[in-house]
A and B are shown apart, each in its own frame.
Chain A
Amino acid sequence: MQGKLAADNIEMDANDLDAPEERGQDDQGDNEQLNEAEDHQDEADNDQIDKTDKAITKQQALQQQQRAKNELDGDKLSEKDDEAMQDEQPEIDLVQDYQEFLERRKEVQLAEERNEAERMEVD
């Protein structure tokens, strides 16, 4: 087991001890890889941002929609409230009013007749 580890170390060391030119090539390769990785990362980040933006936009749209709905519901509710208020207001029942008017008139006529009779008695 120790022997294998030692061999790995040797291999690693051997890689580290590359010639400068080769190292430059390797560096370039590494840079390209890095750039690619960065590009990927950027793309991923951008995608993420886009997704987040979209999500935010969607959320905002939903919120706006919800707000509009609430307002509409509110209006409806206020309309309902108004209607309820109107319902609560006493409706003018003309038939009932007329009935009362007739009763009142009858009472007046009776009272007049009574007064007349009393006056006759006094005379």
Chain B
Amino acid sequence: MARPDDQEFDYNLEKVQVRALFEEWRSNEEGAQAAMELLSRFKAETSESSASLCEQLRIVLEPQLSQQLQGDFKTGKRLNMKKVISFIASHYRNDKIWLRRTLPSKRDYKILIAIDDSLSMKEQNLGFFSLEAMVTLVEALNRLEVGKVAVARIRDRMELLQSFEDNYSNERTAFIVSQYEFQHSAQNSHDFAMANFMRDANKLLDLQNASSQLQGAMSCPFTIILSDGRFNKANALKYIQEAQEKRYLYIFVILDAAAKTPKDQKAGRNTTGSSILNLRSAVKSEDGTGMKIMPYLKDFPFAYYCIVSDLRELPNALAAILVQWFAMI
């Protein structure tokens, strides 16, 4: 499934590969059964958060497509038969007998959810946490009938696990859950994985934008990234700027469950040192003569990011970012 980093992103090829992978996964009944069981546990654990997120997004993500016929118009798409009698009785004077599609009632967003599948996620004890967040998102977006949702994993580049054309189902979500290992580690993955992902995701959003424009629909594709936030910021910056120029929204959810164990708690040990808030990075000083240490998040390249250490914080954090974004556009 993995392709060379420099190979151009081919959406159709990815779709074919994902379908083949899904069929292969389905043929292994035992594995599929285990994944379904794990998914049901995730759902039970995240039902509250997903319901909350769904309600928050219902307010923020407004419907775009008009489907229902309403109103009294002199011209329109369909006749209101109730009005026809009064139209005849009034000697053809009450002629507002037509219905039109005026109020938008359906959402048609295209949302890409991507999870960092690197070893660092496991090291930060974020594997299950990120999957819980992903299940929360997928369930909430499905309940809201938000449009089309694609899911990908970030290894050396973007690897699709569900394309925009694939429909939601329990089985497919279980398949997605089973595809994350959080063990990927390559020589340059820290430096280039996020940059390669951004390049591929921009390409995918370009394609979705183009197809929406062809259909005459309003396109609002956006991406939600779930990661520990540790990557080479300088390499990814070029593609993040490209996304900003194209007005693509990337919401970076930094998962930051500080690695605390009950033993640490009992011993009163402070283990919050592993938190991204305490992470520092060395950068060249402005005069170029030396190096200086500064907080890692100070020059974080994503404009819209939030730090989530508890799943219950996710709905509010996402909603706040989306409100900001839609207020801006």
Contact = CB atoms under 8 A, between A and B. Distances in A.
A111 B265 CA distance: 6
Contacts of B42: 98
Contacts of B266: 111
Contact of A95 (B41, B45, B262): B41
Contact of B38 (A94, A104, A112, A115): A94
A95 B265 CA distance: 25
A93 B37 CA distance: 11
Contacts of A108: 260-262, 265
Interface of A: 93-95, 97-99, 101-102, 104, 107-108, 111-112, 115
A95 B33 CA distance: 11
A95 B128 contact: no
A94 B34 contact: yes
B42 to A, nearest CB: 8
Interface residues of B, number: 13
Interface string B29-54: 00000100110011001000000000
Interface string B264-282: 0110100000000000000
Interface of B: 34, 37-38, 41-42, 45, 128, 260-262, 265-266, 268
Interface of A (DSSP majority class): helix
Contacts of A95: 34, 37-38, 41
Contacts of A107: 262, 265
Contact of A112 (B41, B45, B265): B265
Contact of B128 (A98, A111, A112): A98
Contact of B262 (A94, A98, A102, A104): A104
B266 to A, nearest CB: 7
A98 to B, nearest CB: 6
A94 B45 CA distance: 15
9 contacts: A93-B34, A98-B41, A98-B128, A99-B41, A107-B262, A107-B265, A111-B262, A111-B266, A115-B265
A102 B34 contact: no
A104 B261 contact: yes
B183 to A, nearest CB: 11
A112 B260 CA distance: 10
A107 B266 CA distance: 10
Nearest to B177: A94
Contacts of B37: 95
Nearest to B258: A108
A91 B128 CA distance: 18
B265 A98 contact: no
A32 B34 CA distance: 91
A119 to B, nearest CB: 11
A115 B265 CA distance: 8
- Nearest 8 interchain pairs by C-beta: A111-B265, A107-B262, A101-B128, A94-B38, A108-B260, A95-B38, A95-B37, A98-B128
Given A94-B38, A111-B262, A111-B266, 13 more contacts: A93-B34, A94-B34, A95-B37, A95-B38, A98-B38, A99-B41, A102-B45, A104-B262, A108-B261, A108-B262, A108-B265, A112-B265, A115-B265
Contacts of A111: 262, 265-266
Contacts of B34: 93-95
Contacts of A99: 41
Contacts of A94: 34, 38
A35 to B, nearest CB: 78
A104 to B, nearest CB: 7
Nearest to A114: B265
A102 B268 CA distance: 21
A102 B38 CA distance: 13
B72 to A, nearest CB: 57
Contacts of A115: 265, 268
A93 B34 CA distance: 8
Contacts of B265: 107-108, 111-112, 115
A84 B41 CA distance: 31
A78 B102 CA distance: 72
Nearest to B266: A111
